[in-house]
A and B are shown apart, each in its own frame.
Chain A
Amino acid sequence: DVKVTQSSRYLVKRTGEKVFLECVQDMDHENMFWYRQDPGLGLRLIYFSYDVKMKEKGDIPEGYSVSREKKERFSLILESASTNQTSMYLCASSLGAMRETQYFGPGTRLLVL
């Protein structure tokens, strides 16, 4: 059974703080993704990675960066958190090689004050 975990379920940060969200998958998946979920806007892709040290911008990368130093771990970084980054953040992974199903983590609800 695929397991995708995220470091925190809830997080409260102050404006301007640097925030790290971590995601770990245990199924040797090639691809990893970071989405944010907001009411009425669905799931929007922030960044994705198809290999270690590789990253690609998604649809809303502004204000975010990512790091993938190991295959199983994909980190999302908010360099200077702002209130408009208050959201639910979902990590996902997929096997790659045309195996399309994305497996999601439980999500991190981030509140920036």
Chain B
Amino acid sequence: GENVEQHPSTLSVQEGDSAVIKCTYSDSASNYFPWYKQELGKRPQLIIDIRSNVGEKKDQRIAVTLNKTAKHFSLHITETQPEDSAVYFCAACRMNTGFQKLVFGTGTRLLVSP
């Protein structure tokens, strides 16, 4: 089955710096890669996702890149702000008709200091 590894487990940056979180996956048939953000005491929420037919996707200050050959994908946050502080989870899945079983990474705790 799919296995997703995520690094680093913790990341501390200064406000305004960039942050990069990396994930690798094992199943070459995986074709959907979402990122979820979980603020302290709150539920995880989708922030961005990418499909395997695209190499990069941007949404304002966040971007995700995908390297299918190397089987890794990364989350990039530019101009970090204190409200970016949260735990970020990557995930991977093989899209099937009807349902999607996501396999999550172990999470990265991002701390943005003012």
Contacts and interface: CB of A to CB of B under 8 A. Distances in A.
A48 B99 contact: yes
How many interface residues does chain A have, given as a range?
A: 20 to 34
A56 B9 CA distance: 30
Contact of A102 (B6, B42, B102): B102
Contacts of B99: 30-31, 48, 50, 56, 94, 96
Contacts, number: 65
Interface stretch (A12-20, A39-47, A73-81): A39-47
Interface of A: 4, 30-31, 35, 40-45, 48, 50-51, 56, 58-59, 90, 94, 96-98, 100-102, 104-107
Given A35-B104, A100-B49, 13 more contacts: A42-B105, A48-B99, A59-B103, A90-B43, A90-B44, A96-B99, A97-B97, A100-B32, A100-B100, A104-B45, A105-B43, A106-B42, A107-B43
How many interface residues does chain B have, given as a range?
A: 20 to 34
Interface of B: 1, 6, 9, 32, 34, 42-46, 49, 89, 93, 95, 97-107
30 contacts: A4-B43, A30-B99, A31-B99, A35-B104, A42-B89, A43-B104, A44-B104, A45-B101, A50-B98, A50-B99, A56-B101, A58-B101, A59-B103, A90-B43, A90-B44, A94-B99, A94-B100, A96-B99, A97-B97, A100-B32, A100-B34, A100-B49, A100-B93, A100-B95, A101-B34, A101-B46, A104-B43, A105-B43, A106-B42, A106-B43
